[in-house]
Structure 1
Amino acid sequence: MEPDVDAVVAGAGLAGLVPELRDLPGRSAHQPWTAPVDPVPRYPPPVVDHGAERRAALTRYDAVAATR
């Protein structure tokens, strides 16, 4: 069964799990720390910057691949 992508994008899928995010606009529910409004006081920022970590891992992978 495929999830309703529009509902997930709109945050409806998250609203059942995290009701505090229910009223956030659009994709903000998926990254509440970037929301134009404060959804929850003291909402913590992400622990890991996945984009930066991905780039670092790819750099390490390329360094290893170059030695083979």
Structure 2
Amino acid sequence: ILRIESGLSTYEKELALMGEDYIEVFEQQAREIEERKAKGLPPPSWVLAMGFDAANQDDGGTQQNAA
């Protein structure tokens, strides 16, 4: 995570080192977040820690700023 956050690496590279495809991981994370939301469960702690708000995303997955 530190390499990604500091711009020294990418999710694609780091997940490839673990034998994972980053697109598949991202899609799975999105599905799990939506499933938790549908079941009335809180978001995972990493979502809260990152300040991510799925309800505040546009259709392209870009965070929208509140006006």
The TM-score, its normalising length taken from structure 1, stands at: 0.31
The TM-score, its normalising length taken from structure 2, stands at: 0.31
Identify which of structures 1 and 2 has the higher relative contact order when contacts are C-alpha pairs closer than 8 Å and 6+ apart. 1
